[in-house]
Structure 1
Amino acid sequence: MTVTTQPEVTKAEKAAVSQSVAKIALVGNPNSGKTSLFNQLTGLNQKVGNFPGVTVDKKTGYSQLTPNLRAEIIDLPGTYSLYPKSLDERVITDLLYDPASNYYPDLVIVTADASNLKRNLLLFTQLSDLKIPAVLALNMVDVAEQEGVKIDIPALQRELGVPVIPMNARKGIGVAALKIVMTQQLEASASSFFEIPLELIPLLQSIKERFSLNNDYLALHYAHQYKNLRFLSESDVAWLEKATEENGFKSNTLQANETIERYTRINELLLDVVRVEKATKDEKFSNRLDQVLTHRVFGYLIFFTILFLIFQAIFAWASYPMDLIDEGIAGLNGLIQSNFSGPLVNLLTEGVIAGLGGVLVFVPQIAILFAFIAILEETGYMARVTFMMDKIMRKFGLNGKSVVPLISGVACAVPAVMSARTIENWKDRMITIFVTPLMSCSARIPVYTVLIALVVPEKYYLGFLNLQGLVLMGLYLIGFLAAIFSALLLKVILKARERSYFIMEFPVYKMPRWKNVGLTIVEKSKTFVLEAGKVIVAISIILWVLASYGPGNSFEIAEQRAVAEARQANLNETQTENLIASHQLESSYAGIIGRTMEPVIRPLGYDWKIGIALLTSFAAREVFVGTMSTIYSIGEEENVSTIKDKLMAEKDENGDPFFTPARGFSLMIFYLFAMQCVSTLAIVRRETKSWMWPLAQLLYMSGLAYVMAYITYNIFS
């Protein structure tokens, strides 16, 4: 999605701006405040697209530095070094190593975490040797001061040879000073930090002549990275490969030596400009806590205990607000139907409101899930979980970085699939993308909870163990096991043998910022309702039409047949009307569609009504509940019952409750495994640049869902 907001300017100003636009790149380590600074500089005047030829997001925006100078700010992916390890990081080298690129910057702003300057300066020294004009935005100075870190800013400026601006990007402190310096620094360059070995000079000289370069360090990176630079032609790559072989160029050894030399210089520099007045209590506390929370035994027990509490809370805490919403929706429908009548009223109550009610009722559970996820991330515990689960992932052929997409998949598979970009190994990345949708996302919660409420009694053991919560946790664990065993299967198929490494820096434990937690709850819940609501309103309207009308005079024939059956059975007026509505629904377009597919799903214990819900929920899983609510609302004399009551009242051909444990658990298992999300398929197509992977996902997960649902139904029957 692209959001663009341009300030109003006069024609003269437009002419001036069009003549004076500086390209400025924002570069920095992950979590160094780069995105916050980008938002401060650009405000709403930004847009999101893709870099040419890759799926990596390209965020650009504009900032008016002076009346006659406008800057185009390019927010580059976070990286620790100019030696890229992922697809995202390669975008940076493509940009900074190609002076002919349309995005080649006039100035680079390097964001650095003032509380961890040593790590952040490695990237800065590499950029400095490229001789691109630069400014160091020293961010998070408030955090550094709290940890007793004192930085001599003037001394640091002298050592680096560039302006150093102390900042707090989250609060906008230092942004005005940065803008002033940006206009002054466009023609300047920083000091050199790395002395290139003399034996490499002949090779680098030939590279400079071949590619018309004027920088030795840039030529060195051509020698290191020619296989990954997309702007080079095949003949250029072949020439560089031959030149490096003839000169005995050992890339890995030279990179290691360079990194050691840079850190030696950085350590010497920091001895003169940084003083730590006290050891941070937070870090000592975090280290002691990590001995328990990441313990090889207790760490896993604590993690699963937290998971257990989350799923208990999803049922126990959400039950009261869910009941209020459910009864409110039913009451609204009853009020409308008691005062108005007609086809449009039926469409509104039986279609739109009944469908939307099936989503709104689950907002409390969605909010609780995201609240816990936000708290775990804010406190720093989620990073520890990622570290612990890495040990398990490797046994099943997944990369350590695969843990992040899998955990993210509990919220939503779309951003989870996108986060797999950080995985360098191609096979590991493809396996991770393939299995991530098996993790139970928030869209499955409406399906799980309504079915659990139908077939699992609300019992408590030991006074606090909620049986329904235990079943919900079990479904999530089954999804996780399905993901890792599918990964193991795919590893064998792809014959993945490459080894990869997982390095993560633990943040110190902190109290969550409750404002951020609240914003996360509101934003995620709103997104869930709005995104699901769009689909559900459209599908509910279509379903109502399909269920309320039939071909030709089929409704009249159905009514005559129902009346005859009612007379034969001596039914009263209300029972007769319900029988007529049931026969007409079966004769409708929706009934015809459901009956057509019923033979395929009958072995799973499903009837034609469930078949319609399965079909519509291929757009999005949460549509299942809205569809069932709409289908079971058709023909009700007074649409005042809740979705749970409607489903519990459904009878089979023998007059027994239709939703037995066998059918309920079969449906849960089907929705656990099935790929029913068009958005996920679309994002997999985008990330893999092939239809093969999303189609393989669709076939594999649908087939697995059918087989496992069949087994489940027969076990419980």
Structure 2
Amino acid sequence: MDIKVALVGNPNTGKSTLFNRLTGLNQKIGNFPGITVDKKTGFTKLSDGKDAEIIDLPGTYSLYPKSKDESIVFQVLADQGNSSHPDVIVLVTDASNLKRNMLLYSQVADLGIPMILALNMIDLAAKGGIEIDVDKLAAKLGIQVVSISARNNIGIDKLKQAVTNTNKIATQFQEVDVNFLAPEAINAIKQHINTDNDYYALQVLHQHEHLTFFTEKDQVEIEEIEQSHQFESAKIQAAETIARYKHLSTVLSDVVTDQGTAKKFSFSDRLDAILTHKVWGFAIFLLILFVIFNAIFAWSSYPMEWIEGTFGWITSMGHEHLPAGMLTDLVLDGVVAGLGGIFVFIPQIAILFAFISILEDTGYMSRVTFMMDKIMSKVGLNGKSVVPMIGGLACAVPSIMAARNIENWKDRMITIMVTPLISCSARLPVYILLISIIIPAKTIWGIISLQGLALMVMYLVSFVAAVVVAWVMKLIIKTKEKSYFIMELPIYRMPRWKNVLFTMYEKSKTFVLEAGKVIIAISIILWVLASFGPGNRFDNIDQKYSAALADTTKNTDHIKTLVATEKLENSYVGILGHFIEPAIRPLGYDWKIGIGLITSFAAREAFVGTMATIYSVDGGDEDSVTIRQRMEASVNSKTGLPVYTFATGISLMLFYAFAMQCMSTVAIVYRETKGWKWPVIQLAYMTAMAYVAALIAYQLLK
């Protein structure tokens, strides 16, 4: 790359929107070297034809970090040897709240890196009666200032031109002379690390413990300088912040004109009075949840039926026209059946993420976080825990990583321990499959779907379970740290429909590709294990039914089904299923469900693919084409009753709601907690909780 550009800014300033606008699809996500924090990088072409690497640094209100993610900002900006160290900084601000955003600007400016100030959401600021004299502000700061609206693609070309024009040497004035705060300590550090930048030296005194580019010897010597000069970090931070705000008041006094102070947030305030009300707010939230889950069933029924019919047609046509043999069976009963069990759930996944994207884009999700803070604080969490927990609706892995933003260690650990209880998108296929079998497709008053209501109940059960477990852990885990919750509520906006569609596409693609790899691998292994057995068991079964199959006067279809069923029970997978059956029989499960439980420990959604493969190999009812029809028609050979009764379905859904059946989640908890203690505790308590809940449900409902 010809130039590296870092995007720096407060949360909710549109920094990520600008990153997406600059890079489009030309971006990737990795980790900062040696640190488990997401690193978003992308590429763009500047106005002079040069290529620029864009680095989206985590959002922060100041250079003083309150979380692991925020500590990355100063590490990258301070270390010239860091692979992400920028040539130019674009500091993104919310033009409607400039003074608060400028605190971070003044700190970053004093590090002496070439910078551009981007006044984002300038169109919204103008609507709110705020006018900014951009030229006067640029003259006062000594840098280029560009008005943009990343959301509406306004001023992006000017910003690229500004990056091209930025000199390699910083031209901005020093914002605040910080030497007066601790002159002796600052001068000692400047000599020790060989720098002439007062503010860089001051930040080293504050943050050296977080700076990985210093050696152990350096750390010890910096600590000695701190102690010898009685450096009081908290007091000096407070004094610096006050000094900076005083300076910024003079800078902005004749630059920003606010004509709409009284009505600036009037619309948002009126909505908040209802949507964050202590009673109506929760009622509206539950109503929104119901609309989402009702839509998942109501809107997806036709595309689901079409996808199911398509895969059923492919399988039947394949068996009819392809040469009979092991390869055909592997492709159709293994791979195609497994893929059909995944593709059929694309409509529901797309609808779920469309709603989540709309709620985030409009600003409503932030209100949910705010409302939940009171509940969270009573069970040992705070409002910031809601963000990972709501993110858990999609996937627990990135949600657990998002818990890094929780400053309090106890709150963070409890959040990590309970987030996998929130029903993720991997559980959705299992819920939908079982609900469609045990709950009739009826509506109340013509609008309330019983199946949608059942799905909503499963999600609420997972949230209640997470809250209860958090309360128990609050009593068990001891710490002296106090937690606090500070959050900025963004104004309400219309969702960006292009972004919603992109999210639907990306999440559906990720679901298919990530789940598909696991499903295909498991389906092939299962097909092999289900198609072969030890010794000469299969030969004995063929001999047992050979006379009946040779009798042309009889209907051999039923006999072929008996042969397939008996072979499946005597296959390797059948033997394994029967081995674990005594442990799961009290839950209402047969050996086939047991196989699904085992394969689900790789990924929960593997249950659907497993059932598709097993019932395809089994043969089943010749009139049943789809996996759902075959499962509905399955009968317990010992009792003669349907396998999937209401009691069994509820028991199985509760098991999947609580069990830790995701190796990726176990791995990320190990990485985030830096040891096996917490992952093992999590795996043990969730498995026990799942078994007990499923046992009680089945025994009460059977």
Describe the superposition over 1:229-281 as per-residue Cα deviations: whole angstroms up to 9, x where unpaired. 33334444444444434444332232223222322322332221122344596
Distance 1:61 1:566 in 2: 64
Does the alignment pair 1:659 with 2:640? no
Partner of 1:363: 346
Describe the superposition over 1:278-303 as per-residue Cα deviations: whole angstroms up to 9, x where unpaired. 45967211101101111112111111
Does the alignment pair 1:429 with 2:412? yes
Partner of 2:124: 143
Partner of 1:52: 33
Aligned with residue 167 of structure 1, among 138, 148, 169: 148
Greater mean alpha carbon deviation, residues 484-493 or residues 474-483: 484-493
Greater mean alpha carbon deviation, residues 485-494 or residues 239-248: 239-248
What is the TM-score of this pair, normalised by structure 1?
0.90
Deviation at 1:670, TM superposition (A): 0.8
Distance 1:539 1:68 in 2: 48
C-alpha distance 346-358 of structure 1, shift in aligned 2 (>3 A): same
- Contact kept, 8 Å, 1:333 with 1:639, in 2: the verdict is no
Partner of 1:7: none
Aligned with residue 202 of structure 1, among 163, 184, 198: 184
Q: Which letter maps to 2:66?
A: K
C-alpha distance 561-281 of structure 1, shift in aligned 2 (>3 A): farther
Partner of 1:90: 71
- Contact kept, 8 Å, 2:186 with 2:201, in 1: the verdict is yes
SS of residue matched to 1:634: helix
Q: Which letter maps to 1:498?
A: E
Aligned with residue 486 of structure 1, among 469, 483, 497: 469
Partner of 1:262: 244
C-alpha distance 241-595 of structure 1, shift in aligned 2 (>3 A): same
Aligned with residue 646 of structure 1, among 627, 630, 638: 630
Partner of 2:666: 681
Distance 1:639 1:490 in 2: 51
Alignment of 1:574-589 (within 5 A): 574-589=557-572
Give identity over the alignment, percent: 54
Aligned with residue 77 of structure 1, among 55, 58, 61: 58
Distance 1:654 1:127 in 2: 73
Does the alignment pair 1:379 with 2:379? no
Describe the superposition over 1:650-691 as per-residue Cα deviations: whole angstroms up to 9, x where unpaired. 111121212122211111111111111222223333333334
- Contact kept, 8 Å, 1:165 with 1:178, in 2: the verdict is no
Distance 1:318 1:40 in 2: 31
Does the alignment pair 1:410 with 2:376? no
Deviation at 1:186, TM superposition (A): 1.2
Deviation at 1:566, TM superposition (A): 11
Deviation at 1:383, TM superposition (A): 0.7
Aligned with residue 191 of structure 1, among 132, 153, 173: 173
Q: Which letter maps to 2:198?
A: D
SS of residue matched to 2:119: strand
Deviation at 1:610, TM superposition (A): 0.9
Distance 1:456 1:44 in 2: 42
Distance 2:28 2:501 in 1: 26
Distance 2:23 2:291 in 1: 42
- Contact kept, 8 Å, 2:339 with 2:520, in 1: the verdict is yes
Does the alignment pair 1:222 with 2:207? no
Alignment of 1:96-175 (within 5 A): 96-99=77-80, 101=82, 103-169=84-150, 171=153, 173-175=155-157
Does the alignment pair 1:420 with 2:406? no
Distance 2:159 2:399 in 1: 37
Distance 1:69 1:441 in 2: 42
Which runs of 5 or more residues in structure 2 are unaligned? none
- Contact kept, 8 Å, 2:116 with 2:162, in 1: the verdict is no
Does the alignment pair 1:501 with 2:484? yes
Partner of 1:9: none
- Contact kept, 8 Å, 2:146 with 2:155, in 1: the verdict is no
Distance 2:82 2:518 in 1: 41
Describe the superposition over 1:349-395 as per-residue Cα deviations: whole angstroms up to 9, x where unpaired. 32222222222222222222122212211221111001111111111
Distance 1:310 1:68 in 2: 46
Describe the superposition over 1:84-116 as per-residue Cα deviations: whole angstroms up to 9, x where unpaired. 111111112223334555554443322222232
Distance 1:35 1:514 in 2: 16
Describe the superposition over 1:286-343 as per-residue Cα deviations: whole angstroms up to 9, x where unpaired. 1011011111121111111211222222223322332233233223322333333412
Greater mean alpha carbon deviation, residues 235-244 or residues 696-705: 235-244
Distance 1:254 1:341 in 2: 80
SS of residue matched to 2:6: strand
Deviation at 1:60, TM superposition (A): 4.2
Distance 2:30 2:428 in 1: 32
Partner of 2:689: 704
Partner of 2:306: 324
Q: Which letter maps to 1:557?
A: N
Alignment of 1:556-567 (within 5 A): 556-561=539-544
Q: Which letter maps to 1:416?
A: S
Partner of 2:657: 672
- Contact kept, 8 Å, 1:333 with 1:640, in 2: the verdict is no
Distance 1:313 1:232 in 2: 54
Greater mean alpha carbon deviation, residues 67-76 or residues 518-527: 67-76
- Contact kept, 8 Å, 1:334 with 1:640, in 2: the verdict is no
- Contact kept, 8 Å, 1:330 with 1:639, in 2: the verdict is no
Distance 1:49 1:640 in 2: 45
Q: Which letter maps to 1:147?
A: G
C-alpha distance 340-487 of structure 1, shift in aligned 2 (>3 A): same
Deviation at 1:698, TM superposition (A): 2.5
Q: Which letter maps to 2:416?
A: I
SS of residue matched to 2:426: helix
Partner of 1:5: none
- Contact kept, 8 Å, 1:161 with 1:190, in 2: the verdict is yes
C-alpha distance 65-641 of structure 1, shift in aligned 2 (>3 A): closer
SS of residue matched to 1:443: coil
SS of residue matched to 2:488: coil
> Aligned residue pairs: how many?
696
C-alpha distance 265-596 of structure 1, shift in aligned 2 (>3 A): same
Alignment of 1:241-390 (within 5 A): 241-278=223-260, 283-343=265-325, 344-390=327-373
Deviation at 1:444, TM superposition (A): 0.9
SS of residue matched to 1:618: coil
C-alpha distance 387-36 of structure 1, shift in aligned 2 (>3 A): closer
Deviation at 1:628, TM superposition (A): 0.9
Aligned with residue 605 of structure 2, among 619, 622, 626: 622
Q: Which letter maps to 2:124?
A: V
Describe the superposition over 1:383-423 as per-residue Cα deviations: whole angstroms up to 9, x where unpaired. 10011111111111123211100001011212212221212
Partner of 1:542: 525
Distance 1:251 1:231 in 2: 21
SS of residue matched to 2:60: coil
Aligned with residue 448 of structure 1, among 418, 431, 439: 431
Does the alignment pair 1:401 with 2:380? no
What is the TM-score of this pair, normalised by structure 2?
0.92
SS of residue matched to 1:119: helix
C-alpha distance 62-494 of structure 1, shift in aligned 2 (>3 A): same
- Contact kept, 8 Å, 2:590 with 2:643, in 1: the verdict is no
Q: Which letter maps to 1:515?
A: K
Which runs of 5 or more residues in structure 1 are unaligned? 1-16
Distance 1:346 1:24 in 2: 54
Greater mean alpha carbon deviation, residues 579-588 or residues 539-548: 539-548
- Contact kept, 8 Å, 2:21 with 2:150, in 1: the verdict is yes
SS of residue matched to 2:242: helix
Deviation at 1:220, TM superposition (A): 1.9
- Contact kept, 8 Å, 2:660 with 2:687, in 1: the verdict is yes
Q: Which letter maps to 1:357?
A: G
Computed over aligned residues only, the root mean square deviation of the Cα atoms, in angstroms, reads: 2.8
SS of residue matched to 2:476: helix
Q: Which letter maps to 2:632?
A: M
